[in-house]
Structure formats: structure tokens, C-alpha cells
Structure 1
Amino acid sequence: MTPIDDPERVLAMSYAPRDRRAGLAALFALDATLGQVLRTTREPMVGQMRLAWWREALVRLDSAPPPAEPVLQALARDVLPLGPSGEALAAMTDGWEVLLGAIDNGSIADHGRLRGAVLFEQAGMLLQAQVDPLADAGQGWALADLAAHLSDPQLAAHARDAAAPLLAKASEHRWGRAGHSLGALTHIARMDLAGPATPRRVARLAWHRMTGR
């Protein structure tokens, strides 16, 4: 999946209000950590056990201090005080778990909904950007990211085809200033679907930062 230190992602994150950037980074660090479970697990049952640990740990954040785990500590410190809940974030584990078995069109759709939509909706709450098209943008973002990493060309094409209309719809929206970072990630995902990187991509992101479009 897209590295959290990818230059375009770092640029998009910088569009968030300064006092919310740490929380936004923590949310995407959680997503990257859950993705790492899949990349480092050969046996589906082991992967399910590891994701179950994360699910329980996230739910527990709502009622107990975090354990000595950096991502959980960052979520407890920088995210939960601003509105999102551990229980809501725990749904992201289901979005990754559906990829542990045989991947089909249904599991691809579930991944977009449970990973992407949940991540963007909780990020929108953190940023106070709930008026923006978070579910469509998040699903499209996750599906575009997944498409780039699927080895089966038919499944990858299906993920791209599912992502495209969601990203197009979200990109037509004028994003509020608080949500510019998520809007920028939406544009990045849409440009990824369009083809190889070009210097014009940075100019496109700068235009979004100025206009919300």
C-alpha cells in the first residue's frame, strides 16, 4: 500500500489544520499498520488472530489507557480527544480481514467500504469536515490503492472501475478548508488511476489547496 512517507501524501497531509496534523497522521499510521499485517502474514488464520488483537485493542481505547504500542498511544493522545472512537476505528480491521481469503468482487467492495470509508469518515470528524463527501472519497481512495497492489489483472481492473466513479464524484465537490487534506488525497488517487506521475500533479494539488476543487 502507499507508504506514509510518500511525498505527495506528505504534501496532502500538510493541507490539514496544524493542530490536527498529528491526529491525521496517526489515523493513516493505523491504516498502514493494518496493511502491514497482511503483507507479513502467510497463513490467513494467523492474520485473523493478529487483526483480532488490533480490533480488541482499538475498542479498548474507549475505556482504558493504551498499551505500550506507538500507534495506539498516538490514537489515544491525538485522535480520540477530537471525536473519533476506538470502536469506530476497529471496523477498519474488518476491511483488511476480507483480503485474507480468496479475493473477489464482493471482498473488494467490502474493503473499500470498511477500510476507506471508515478511515475518511473518522478523519473528517477529526478535521471537522463532515460536510465533505467522505464516504465516496474514502472508498474510491482505498479501491485505487488496492488496485495498484493486486496481482490478478481482472481483479485490479474491477477495483479501478469501482474506484473511478466514486473519485470522480468526490472530486466534483468543492471541499471545505478543513477537509483540503482529504480532498488532496482524493485527487492523488484519481490521478493514480489516470496513469504515470507527471510534474503537473503537484500543480493540481496546489490548485486544490487554493480553491477546494
Structure 2
Amino acid sequence: MTDAPAAPTPPPAIEAVMREQALAVGYAPASARDGFAALLDLDHQLASILQSTTEPMIGQMRLTWWFEALEKLDREPAPAHPVLQRLASSVLPGGVRGADLAPMIEGWEALLDDGEPLDDERVARHAEARGGVLFASVGQLQGQAGMAPLGTAWARADLAQHVSDHAVRARIAGAALSELDGVLTAKSPKPARGLSGLAVLARESLRHPDRLPGHPLRAARLAWHGLTGR
């Protein structure tokens, strides 16, 4: 099977998130920016599968295609898909294998609607496999180890923004805010401020839900973090 093509123009809300993320990428070392952006593109691609799929079985099939496609990057030329080609050209040369990225699929599989409640185990599986793998991979490109906990907290906070059940959202947001406060205690080293900047923006979303992506105070907060690491 082949994956459905990405929408040519993302919704305005997604565009605002992507613009913020592009600002955060700008705080990464120049040598890692293309790979950082490519990995965020992969995350958006996987998120779009859940957003556009109403049948869990179809969603599972599409995620399985991506799992296999990522693993094949280690032994075959990238197929004619822009996300996979960007990964092959800007991520794999930095020592991150396709097999290292494939576990991200498991993070998104944890959210497939099978009628079961979104309990803490599923949330943790999503956050660790999605955010932990994503941030660890970007960290490897930047020569920064230990980025997985930051990514786990970021993914948990991001998930909280997309849960419709108020009680579940409050539970996830509370845990995410506590986790973010813990991982953002120390001053972030300069090479890691692109990644930690994403975590800072995630915490801003929880602390100030009225400030949507694109709000000038969010941009100012990111700029301050980029300059100071705080």
C-alpha cells in the first residue's frame, strides 16, 4: 500500500505551530537544523494520519507502512516521498538510523481509538515513543545526550492540547506541567535550546491556554529562552 499524500496547505492552526517550531529550529546549531526540521516534518506526518483517519484499522495500516518505510531507509534508497527523502539526506548522515525512528510509530499507535479509555499507560507509551525518540534523535544530531525526558514531557503536554474529554485533558495536562517544570529546572546548554525551546512553548500552552501559537508573548518567551537558556 502507499500512504495518502499530505495536504498541500495545512490548516491555519497547524501553520501557526509549524512557524513557532521553525523559530525553535533556528536556535539549534546550524549543522543540525535541516535534520531537526525533517524530524519535525515526520512528526507532523504521523500526527496527520490520526487526524485524518476515522477507522482504526485504516490508521493501523498507514502507520505500519511508515514503520516499514523508516526501517527500509537503512538499506534502500528513499522512495519518492518528501519526508522520507529529507530524512535520508539530513538525518541519516548524522548517525540516526531509520530503525531508530521507527519506534515513533508505536507512540502514535497508542492513540488509535479502539474504544478503550486513554489511561496513563497509553499516554506514557505515546509520550515516550513519540517525544522521547524524536528529541533523542535531534539530540544526537546536535551532540546532546539525555534529551529523551525533555521530549517525553513535551509530547505529554502536546497531547493534552488535543484531548476533547475535559477530565482526561486535565489529568494529562497536570502530569505534563509537573514533568516540564522538572526537566526545565536547569539552564539549557546553548546547542540544546531549540529542543528545550519546544518544551518551553509546550509549558506556555499549559500555563496560558489563551495564548495560542503565534501569540507575540509566546515568541518573546522563546526568544528569551534562546538567549538565556532559562
Task: Give per-residue Cα distances to partners, 1:66-119, cap 9 Å, x unaligned.
Answer: 111110010000001002111110000000001112322221111111111111
Match in the other structure for 2:222: 205
State how far apart, in whole Å, the 2-side matches of 1:27 and 1:199 are: 25
3-state SS of 2:14 partner: coil
Equivalent of residue 3 in structure 1, options 14, 29, 32: 14
3-state SS of 2:102 partner: helix
Distance 1:135 1:48, change over 3 A: same
Match in the other structure for 1:26: 38
Q: What is the Cα deviation at residue 29 of structure 1?
A: 0.4
CA contact (8 A) 2:154 2:202 kept: yes
CA contact (8 A) 1:136 1:169 kept: no
CA contact (8 A) 1:136 1:167 kept: no
Give the letter aligned to residue 29 of structure 1.
Answer: D
State how far apart, in whole Å, the 2-side matches of 1:134 and 1:168 are: 15
Among the aligned pairs, what percent are the same residue?
Answer: 45
Equivalent of residue 172 in structure 1, options 174, 177, 185: 185
TM-score (norm 2): 0.86
Task: Give per-residue Cα distances to partners, 1:181-205, cap 9 Å, x unaligned.
Answer: 0011111011111012264433322
Matches within 5 A, 1:22-171: 22-100=34-112, 101=114, 102=116, 103-130=118-145, 133-171=146-184
State how far apart, in whole Å, the 2-side matches of 1:26 and 1:202 are: 22
CA contact (8 A) 2:22 2:37 kept: no
More displaced 10-residue stretch of structure 1: 179-188 or 15-24: 15-24
The reply on whether 1:183 has 2:185 as its aligned counterpart is no
State how far apart, in whole Å, the 1-side matches of 2:188 and 2:98 are: 26
3-state SS of 2:74 partner: coil
State how far apart, in whole Å, the 2-side matches of 1:208 and 1:21 are: 18
Q: What is the Cα deviation at residue 36 of structure 1?
A: 0.6
CA RMSD of aligned residues (A): 1.7
TM-score (norm 1): 0.93
CA contact (8 A) 1:144 1:160 kept: yes
Q: What is the Cα deviation at residue 54 of structure 1?
A: 0.3
Q: What is the Cα deviation at residue 5 of structure 1?
A: 5.1
CA contact (8 A) 1:105 1:158 kept: no
Give structure 1 stretches of 5+ with no counterpart: none
More displaced 10-residue stretch of structure 1: 96-105 or 79-88: 96-105
Task: Give per-residue Cα distances to partners, 1:25-46, cap 9 Å, x unaligned.
Answer: 1001000000111111111111
Give structure 2 stretches of 5+ with no counterpart: 1-10
Give the letter aligned to residue 206 of structure 1.
Answer: A
State how far apart, in whole Å, the 2-side matches of 1:112 and 1:4 are: 22
CA contact (8 A) 2:132 2:150 kept: yes
Q: What is the Cα deviation at residue 16 of structure 1?
A: 1.2
Number of positions where the alignment pairs a residue of Structure 1 with one of Structure 2: 211
3-state SS of 1:106 partner: helix
